[in-house]
Amino acid sequence: MDPLQRLVDLEELRNLKASYFYYLDTKDWESWLNLFTRDATLQWDNAPSIGGRDGQASQKYVGIDQIREHVAYGILHPAQTVHQGHTPILELTSENTATGIWAMEDIVTSANRVLHAFGHYRETYRKVDGKWKIASLYLTRLRVTTTHS
Amino acid sequence: MDPLQRLVDLEELRNLKASYFYYLDTKDWESWLNLFTRDATLQWDNAPSIGGRDGQASQKYVGIDQIREHVAYGILHPAQTVHQGHTPILELTSENTATGIWAMEDIVTSANRVLHAFGHYRETYRKVDGKWKIASLYLTRLRVTTTHS
Amino acid sequence: MDPLQRLVDLEELRNLKASYFYYLDTKDWESWLNLFTRDATLQWDNAPSIGGRDGQASQKYVGIDQIREHVAYGILHPAQTVHQGHTPILELTSENTATGIWAMEDIVTSANRVLHAFGHYRETYRKVDGKWKIASLYLTRLRVTTTHS
């Protein structure tokens, strides 16, 4: 692969995930949903594990309509959220596909509790009409604490 | 814009903000002040908002002399501070200007309280004599907690 | 130095440290140890300081065998750990050597206490057989809190 094009793609993948965090925490849902492919899957674990539990995620949503209804306007919209991502390990697997692992921290404050967790996003990406999108996201946890607020 | 020069500029902008955090928390004030343009503005909010409050910042300082006196040697020097930045969304708006949004976390410990906050730096940059500088910085908050120490 | 090669090297150095964090917290010890040179030194402070204490580290390990025995399989393996790194200041000092400062946060939970700290990794890197490795790491602290769990 051309080394300059590879750097451009890595930069765009970092920008994609930076936008994911920004739109998520500022509740710009349509911009956020537009970062996913239409057939995207979104999964996460609530309990800690080392490296994920082979598809036994606590929550799983398939396709952009489920993600819009249940995640964006369902779980996330009423909460005060902070999501931060760190030190990605990105790999271009073809001209139009890539994988990534991002370290993360989140704080989700709802009416009666504060969830504070640390873990990893395990993701795949696909270039659609020249633009990188998130094709799948599985969030695993290293540490989870919950307190009443 | 030349794609290689664009990547070099993005790298320098990341390095500028990395230096901002490092000099700030190690209290190397003259190196820190040298990262700003002479006419820089520095603003921040103490209370949470989604996306900033249109110039109604809680604190505002204009020009490097105010930033030196009131922020560096005023508020920050006596405190133990941790400032960390994440996943920038950087945009080059011309050869010599750029914008950036950085996710952030800070912990500021003074004599009798600990401020722990999460938010975003909303910044503009300008190249002065071939070197990127921070021209304006507005820090908005997603979440703020204060405890007595 | 060739500007494209410089960007490729910086990308590889970021990937090296991203792998350091990932292998560490998922306890993939042989992959983690493989990120260091055989003569690597690993040091850290337990108490806060501004900018390190000139070699007076609280803990010091020399060579990959000491790091394997005392750090990986000694201190770290039984603990639940979260280590996150931010905004590196990287400098290529020759074709095969580099330095870096990474802001960091860690949470180390052992049987009866939780250590939560913030600080900086101060590192040197060396290219061995075409691959960047960590040659020395000194972790200094800005803030340390310990609670009983």
Rounded CA gap, A105 and A85, in Å?
A: 7
* pLDDT band (50, 70, 90) for residue B142: very high
* pLDDT band (50, 70, 90) for residue B115: very high
Rounded CA gap, A94 and A126, in Å?
A: 9
Q: Can you give the pLDDT at residue A119?
A: 97
Percentage above 90 pLDDT, chain C? 89
B75: helix, coil or strand?
Answer: helix
* Measured CA distances, B24 to A78, B84, C137 (Å): 35, 10, 22
Which member of A4, A51, A105 has the closest CB to residue C26?
A51
Q: CB-based contacts of A38: which residues, under 8 Å, 6+ apart?
A: A63, A64
Q: Can you give the pLDDT at residue B57?
A: 85
- Chain B CB within 8 Å of residue C145 CB: no
| C29 neighbourhood in chain A, CB within 8 Å | none
- Chain B CB within 8 Å of residue C53 CB: no
Q: Which residues are paired to B82 by β-bridges?
A: B107
- Chain A CB within 8 Å of residue B86 CB: yes
| Digit-coded pLDDT (tens) for A118-144 | 999 999 999 999 999 999 999 999 999
Q: Can you give the pLDDT at residue C37?
A: 98
Q: Can you give the pLDDT at residue A56?
A: 82
CATH number at residue A97: 3.10.450.50
Rounded CA gap, A7 and A2, in Å?
A: 9
Task: Name the more confident of A52 and B17.
Answer: B17
Rounded CA gap, B120 and B88, in Å?
A: 10
Residue B20 has which token pair?
A: 């901002």
For the beta carbon of residue A114, count every other beta carbon within 10 angstroms. 17
- Chains touching chain A through at least 3 C-beta pairs below 8 angstroms are B, C
With a cut of 80, say whether residue B55 has pLDDT above it.
no
Which member of C4, C21, C80 has the closest CB to residue A103?
C21
Number of structural domains found in chain C: 1
| Digit-coded pLDDT (tens) for C60-104 | 999 999 999 999 999 999 999 999 999 999 999 999 999 999 999
- Chains touching chain B through at least 3 C-beta pairs below 8 angstroms are A, C
With a cut of 80, say whether residue B91 has pLDDT above it.
yes
- A86-97: average pLDDT: 98
B3: helix, coil or strand?
Answer: helix
- B100-124: average pLDDT: 96
Range(s) of the domain holding residue C138: 3-148
Which member of C89, C105, C142 has the closest CB to residue B19?
C89
Q: Can you give the pLDDT at residue C52?
A: 75
For the beta carbon of residue B138, count every other beta carbon within 10 angstroms. 19
Nearest C-alpha of chain A: how many angstroms from B100?
11
Q: In what order do the strands lie in the sheet with A59-62?
A: A59-62, A36-48, A131-148, A113-128, A97-109, A80-92
Q: In what order do the strands lie in the sheet with C113-128?
A: C59-62, C36-48, C131-148, C113-128, C97-109, C80-92
| C142 neighbourhood in chain B, CB within 8 Å | 25, 80-82
Percentage above 70 pLDDT, chain C? 99
- Chain A CB within 8 Å of residue B7 CB: yes
- Chain A CB within 8 Å of residue C12 CB: no
Q: Can you give the pLDDT at residue B124?
A: 98
